[in-house]
Every structure is written in C-alpha cells, then in structure tokens.
Structure 1
Amino acid sequence: MISVTTATSVKETSKLKLRFENPIRVNRLKPNPTKNLIAIDTKGDEFHAPDYTINDIIKAIPKECFNSSLLKSLSFVFRDIFFMLFFGYIAQTYIPSIESTFYRTISWTIYVNLMALPVTGLWILAHECGHQSFSKYGYLNDFIGWILHSYSLNPYFSWKFSHKKHHKNNGHLRKDMAFVPSTLEEWKSKRGIDWLSEIAEDSPISSITTLLIQQIVGFQTYLLIDATGQPHPELQDKWYKQFQASHFNPTAPLFDKGDFWYIVISDIGIVIQCTILYFWIQIFGWFNFFVHWFIPYLLVNHWVVFITYLQHTDVTVPRYSDKEWTFARGAGATIDREFGFVGWFFFHDLIETHVLHHYCGRIPFYNARIATEAIRPILGIHYRYSNENMFSMIWKSLRWCEFVQGDNGVLMFRNHNGLGVPPVDKPTENL
C-alpha cells in the first residue's frame, strides 16, 4: 500500500511538472554541477549557489496556483482598455481648452505618462499570453497576445520564441537571450584596451548617456538587431549584417526552422498596426497621434527595458558558466523588486513576483504572490528581494554592474569605477 501511494504521488508530481512548467523542454537537472559553490558578490558578501532542484520548487506550490481563468484574465484586459479610454477622453475633452501654454504642456506631459501605464499593462498581459498562463486555450492566448503586442509594434511570436529561450537559459552566460553581460575581456575588447589601468573612471555624464539610450531606444534596438542579446560573430564583420539577427527576420539565428511562418504572422501584425497608424494620422493629425499613441509607445518601451533590466541586473545577481549552470540556479538569478501601486495595479505584479515567474512561467500573475510565499522557505537565503527605489537602483546598477568575473563557474558583477569589490585584471577561464 505504501509503495502504491508513493508511485501515485510521483506520477502526479510528474504530470504537474509537464503540464504547468514553462512550455519548453529543457534539461533542468544538468548533471554533476559542483555543490556548495561560493562566490563574492559586488558588495563583498558571500554568494552561495543554490543546490535545490526545480522539483523541490514545483512541489512546494499549491496546485490551485496553476489554475488560470479566461474570464478573470480578460477582465484585466478590459480594465486596462477602460483606463486607456478614460485617460484619453479626459485629456481630449479638457486639456485643449487650457489657455496657458505652460499648463497645457504640463497637462499633456502628465497625460502621456498616465496613458503609458495601462498600455504597458496590456503589453504585460500579452506576455502572459506568450507563456500560456492567460488561459488554458492556447490558440486563444496567441490570438489575444498577437493583437495586444501588435498594438505596441511588438512582434508577438518573434518575441515569444526568443523570450522562451531566455527563460530556458536564464543566468547562463553563453545561452541567455536578454541583458547578457560582458566578461571583463569582452568589456575591454569593446573599448579597445588591454588593461583596466588604460581607461579612466567613467564620468556620470557617460552613465547618463548610456541610461538615456537604454531607456529611449533600448527595446527597439533589441527587437531590431538583438542588442544586449548573445553576440553573433558570423554577422559582425559588417555593421548592417546585424539586422539579420532582427526579431522581424524569419530566418534570424534567434529562431528555429519551424518558427518561420509564425515570424511572418508577427510581421503581418506590425504591418496592420502601421496601416492603422497611417490612417490615424490622416484622420486626426500628427499631434493627436503623438500624444495618444507615439509618446505612450516610447514610454511603454522604456518601462519594458526598465523592468527587465532591474529584474536581472543587481550587485547580488550571478551568472553561471555552462558547467555550473542548472535550470534551478539560472531561474534564481533574478530579483523581486517593489514598485508600489503602479507595480501591482498597472504592471500586474510582474516586478514583485519575477523570481517565481522564472521558476514557473505558467502560473498566472494573479496567483503569483501566493506561489511566491509558498516557495520562499525552499529558496531560503537564495531568494532576492529589494524595496529600494527602482529609479535610484537603475543608476546604481549601471555604475556597479559593468561586467562579470569569476574563477569557479559563478560570475558576479564588477566595475572599473572603484565601487565595491575591485575586478582582477586577468583572463577569465573555463567558461
């Protein structure tokens, strides 16, 4: 009787794992990683690489957390659309009648920032569709996600496929797909130097320039040429060849052969939206287009980069070499941050529950807080959370987290600005 019960429990756990984990097949239990690995993070504290498995995490999550409701998910879509229409109606009705140019400009500025919040929310809900956590109906998830992402000129299937590989390889120095940090050697090579002593400390102006470029056009360049993704050496002999790595190219090295027509469908969504925007301008004019769509679109891209960068870049967040990477270690190489009302209401808890999201992307966002609390005892010291102001943290991350370095397969962020633990100016081996 005992053996039957045990077998049934194992069988149920196996079914749960296959059904509810990220919709990708990966080797999550990489053989023979080194146990009890310790590294020193950027602040000088000990970092202990986790040794638990993904099964330990999945078994700790209540089964009801995996349940998604189409009606509940749709209610958030309609809620975000309601706020878009509400903000737009208030702005179009009252702002043009403000006589003072100064106060009218201030009002439009407040409006475009408010409008970007529910539009970002819709982008995040499309992200839920890509993970198939929106509902249990796969084709419906993809149809809704395609519409919502196309509105913001995001190629749905293209991003879905590359994002899936990001989840599959998160924290892997050579296989991750987003915000891939440079090693010290790569960082020096980009600057054409042999030794750190050859370059002076970056000025704040340099960091501000980097920040502005990242936040204004960072996501567009990621989609267009796979910037901040894995390098494509075969494409880099000519700068224009990097466009072959575009998310809009069905034959890009980002994708598998079977993805071709899905990428085409993504591009069709972009063409349709561009056509709609053309008629929008023709009917309502350029100013209407700028305040109601274009500037909010830029701000949505800012929020996407802002959120994603801070989820994966921190002085305590590691990267792993191939030998020491496991799915469980990689999934934990992220951090939950607190963003207050905007985070839980408009951004659907994506910021506050991102650690859980990497362990199990199939859990809908409205169940993620419960699931996060359930896995925290398993994660223990390996759970990372910060309630520091996110706007100050992005500045700190830019200055502190320039490249990664390590000699035991666990690589931590370092910088040449004299902040935290100094780098060792020697080649990194065994990656």
Structure 2
Amino acid sequence: MASSNPRTNTPKPEGGGGGLTRREKMNGLERQTKLNQEEQEEEEGFSHGDPPPFRLADVRAAIPKHCWVKDPWKSMSYVVRDLVVVFALMGIAFSLDSWGFWPFYWFAQGTMFWALFVLGHDWRAKISWPRMVRVVIGHGSFSNSNTLNSVVGHILHSSILVPYHGWRISHRTHHANHGHVEKDESWHPWPETLYRSVPNSTRMLRYTAPFPLFAYPFYLAWREPGKKGSHFHPESDLFTSSEKLDVVTSTICWCAMVALLATLCFIFGPTPVLKLYGVPYLVFVMWIDLVTYLHHHGHGEETLPWYRGKEWNFLRGGLTTLDRDYGVFNKIHHDIGTHVVHHLFPQIPHYHLVEATEAVKPILGKYYKEPKRSQGPFPFHLIESFLNSLRINHFVSDSGDVVYYQTDPHLAIDGVSKYSM
C-alpha cells in the first residue's frame, strides 16, 4: 500500500541560530503532537489509514431498526419550530430597532438560518445511484416522498440563497466520494502541484482566518481551484444532462428570492433589509463554513488520512470525518455534529443520529474519534481547532494512495506570511 506519512513529509520549520521563534515553537508542538499520536498508534498496532476490520454491513447491523424510520410529521414539526423562531426573532428586532438588541439578533438569526439549511439538507430528494452505493446514499431522510422533500427543500434553501438542486447534486458527489483526494467535493485537500500553482493571494485567502469563513457563496458560484463549474448553471461540469431542468428550477427559485430582497430594499430601504436579513445571512455563511471545515479537517490526535486509487472505498472514505460537539447548538442545529454516522448512512433522520452514533461506536472502535467536549454552553474550543488546522493542514502529496496533510512553513501563522500578496 503506497502511502505518504506525515512524519516524513511534514517540512521542518524554518529558523536559525539561537532561540526558537514563537512560530517555530508552535510548528514544533503541532508536529510533536502528530508524532506522538502516530507512535501510539504504531505501538498499539493501529493506524487509521489501514483498512478497517469490519464491513459497512456490520456497522449498519448495529443500528437499531427504529433509527431508520422517517416520520414526516415529526420532521415537519422541526420545520415549523425553526420558522416560528425565525419570524419571532425578526418581529422582535423590527419592533425594538435597538442597537442593544441587534447584535444578539444577528447571531441568533444567523444560527437559525443554519438550522434551516440543515433541515433543507435533510429534505434532499432521493436520487439514483450505482448499485454498489445506492443502499447507503441519498438523503431523503425526512420523508419517503420525493415531491414533499423537493418542495420543502426549495423553500428552505431558497430562503437563505442556496440553489437547492445545484447544491444537492454537488453534495451528493461529496458523500459518494468523501475522503478521495481528487473526487471529493467539499473542503478536500489540494495536491502539492495545485497548491503551488495558485496565486499567492488565493493561497492566503484559503488558509488565513477569517477569510475561509466567507467562502461558501464563492464556492456556489465558482467552486474552487482545480474544479470548474457553477451550482447555478445547468451546463456546469457538476451536472448530467438529465439534471439540467432541476438546476434551472433551483436557479429560478434563487433568483426569485434575490428579486424579493431587492423589492423589499426598494420599499423599505436597504438598511432595514441589511439589518434583518443581510447580516444574519453572513453569520449563516460563517456557520456553514466553520462546521463543514471542522468535520473534514483534523490535527494532532485527530489527524486523518485521505485516499486515492484502489485504497479508497466508501467505508474508508466515510470514516475520514470527525464528530464535533457544538455545546448548546447541538440540538438547535439538529445534531449535525454526529457527522460520522451521517456520512455512512445519510438517510437516517437527524433525530436518530445521536442514538445511531452510540450504537456503532463499539463496531468502529479506534476508527471513531471522540469529539472534544465543550466546557460550557458555547463551543469556544472549536475556534482553537479551526485556527490550528488552518495553520498546519495545507496540501497533500501529488503521489501516494494513502496521504496526510502537510504543512507549508512559509504560509501564514497568526496572520503573518512570508509570501507577498
């Protein structure tokens, strides 16, 4: 099995002479954490990059049967709950129009926009898959009705400026190829040649906080370096000819929402629309980028492999994701933190994910990494995880079937870079 080991491929920090700089100390600490984790895994005879000793069917069999049951009424109750909160917050903010309340409203409403996105994500209609994966892929986890899933999904996603079918299809690609260096679609690593070829400004924006937290709208419009197409255009490389009408439908719905916002700006002025909708939308964008990034990046003890060629399969790819604890937001965001089981079996309704996760832990064993728990209601610990990951997870080797992220010592640390913009 060809592999690229982070122990041998992570560049040494630059520096000279006497004492270590803070940058060198931080790089050395992260590298030592990785080495300690790898040595421990070797001593125990375990490596996350090795093929697991269990099958996908074994994991599936451990999940209680009732966890697969979809209750459309229960699903709809969550939609109603979230919409009631969204409109209640909007009504209170509009009535008070107080700068003492606006910051709370922006954060709370952006949080609820993310909750609506998660529900729209689960309302995704069922889709056709190759026989080998269709049993475990295709969300439709709220009901068995494609029509209901599509209608509710369009309403929820269009309301927060997400093209329902366009993103559904690219997210399907992500689930079907998760953990594959070239074929994955969401926050996948750049091979070193691609990493070195992009402009310095692109590299800085991708790996320097807070810029990655605003990536989602740009991803929808242009995807990312190395991948062409748009989630709005039916001729995009993302879609097949049979999906073009779906994409056109979603793009029309997205345009209708933009037209509605423009009309509201004309009637009430841009400032109220910006305060009631624009700022919460930006908070939502930050939520989606933070959450999706954290689920697909680890560092230190959370270091995970990426695959190519024959080393990749659906099970191994699905195991290269991490659960996260979002504190008080776990339930608000419909337990999206239980991401491992969601990737392996995305058709499980969100209200069964916690139970399903507990059921599969004995089967997954060391292939499941317990998430670091929030010390309070707010998951401030994830900020450190995000920043540390940006600092060390930059690219993977151009070759090798099992590879790990490597670090570019020239890239920004604490906002400082040796690259010129």
What band does the TM-score fall into relative to the shorter chain? 0.7 to 0.9
CA distance in 2, matches of 1:168, 1:391: 29
Q: Give the one of 93, 115, 133 matched to 1:91.
A: 93
**Partner AA of 1:335 in structure 2:** L
2:43 maps to which residue?
none
For residues 247-396 of structure 1, the aligned pairs below 5 Å read: 247-315=231-299, 316-342=303-329, 344-351=330-337, 353-387=338-372, 389-396=381-388
1:226 counterpart = 2:234? no
Task: Give, in angstroms, the shift of residue 213 of structure 1.
Answer: 2.2
Task: Give, in angstroms, the shift of residue 309 of structure 1.
Answer: 0.6
**Partner AA of 1:291 in structure 2:** K
C-alpha contact (below 8 Å) 1:65/1:371 kept by paired residues = yes
C-alpha contact (below 8 Å) 1:87/1:115 kept by paired residues = yes
CA distance in 1, matches of 2:197, 2:4: 28
1:181 maps to which residue?
189
Task: Give, in angstroms, the shift of residue 408 of structure 1.
Answer: 5.0
SS at the partner of 1:252?
coil
C-alpha contact (below 8 Å) 2:221/2:231 kept by paired residues = yes
Task: Give, in angstroms, the shift of residue 286 of structure 1.
Answer: 1.3
Task: Give, in angstroms, the shift of residue 39 of structure 1.
Answer: 5.0
Q: Give the one of 133, 136, 140 matched to 2:144.
A: 136
For residues 36-75 of structure 1, the aligned pairs below 5 Å read: 39=5, 43-44=34-35, 45-46=37-38, 47-48=47-48, 49-51=50-52, 52-75=54-77
2:83 maps to which residue?
81
Q: Give the one of 76, 89, 101 matched to 1:107.
A: 101
Alignment length (residue pairs): 349
SS at the partner of 2:70?
coil
- CA change 1:154–1:191 in 2 (3 A) is closer
Deviations 1:328-382 (A, max 9, x none): 000001000111011x22211102x000000000001100011101111111000
C-alpha contact (below 8 Å) 1:173/1:322 kept by paired residues = no
Task: Give, in angstroms, the shift of residue 89 of structure 1.
Answer: 2.1
RMSD (Å), alpha carbons: 2.3
**Partner AA of 2:219 in structure 1:** Y
C-alpha contact (below 8 Å) 2:107/2:280 kept by paired residues = yes
Identical pairs, percent: 32
C-alpha contact (below 8 Å) 1:334/1:384 kept by paired residues = no
Task: Give, in angstroms, the shift of residue 187 of structure 1.
Answer: 2.0
- CA change 1:166–1:95 in 2 (3 A) is same
CA distance in 1, matches of 2:282, 2:184: 25
Q: Give the one of 207, 210, 214 matched to 2:208.
A: 210
**Partner AA of 1:160 in structure 2:** R
CA distance in 2, matches of 1:360, 1:323: 22
* Superposition TM-score, scaled by structure 2 size: 0.78
Task: Give, in angstroms, the shift of residue 84 of structure 1.
Answer: 1.1
1:119 maps to which residue?
113
**Partner AA of 2:211 in structure 1:** I
1:165 maps to which residue?
173
C-alpha contact (below 8 Å) 2:58/2:363 kept by paired residues = yes
Task: Give, in angstroms, the shift of residue 385 of structure 1.
Answer: 3.0
Task: Give, in angstroms, the shift of residue 40 of structure 1.
Answer: 5.0
- CA change 1:58–1:208 in 2 (3 A) is closer
C-alpha contact (below 8 Å) 2:171/2:185 kept by paired residues = yes
Task: Give, in angstroms, the shift of residue 313 of structure 1.
Answer: 0.9
- Name structure 1 gaps, 5 residues minimum: 1-33, 97-103, 193-201, 233-241, 420-431
CA distance in 1, matches of 2:95, 2:119: 29
CA distance in 2, matches of 1:258, 1:405: 36
SS at the partner of 2:80?
helix
Please identify, of 299-308 and 401-410, the stretch whose mean Cα deviation from structure 2 is larger.
Answer: 401-410
* Superposition TM-score, scaled by structure 1 size: 0.76
- Name structure 2 gaps, 5 residues minimum: 8-30, 39-46, 125-138, 374-380, 412-421
Task: Give, in angstroms, the shift of residue 172 of structure 1.
Answer: 0.5
Task: Give, in angstroms, the shift of residue 219 of structure 1.
Answer: 0.3
Task: Give, in angstroms, the shift of residue 403 of structure 1.
Answer: 1.1
SS at the partner of 2:404?
strand
After TM superposition, where is structure 1 displaced by more than 4 Å over at least 4 residues in a row?
37-42, 206-209
Task: Give, in angstroms, the shift of residue 209 of structure 1.
Answer: 7.6
C-alpha contact (below 8 Å) 1:331/1:355 kept by paired residues = yes
CA distance in 1, matches of 2:206, 2:310: 36
1:195 maps to which residue?
none
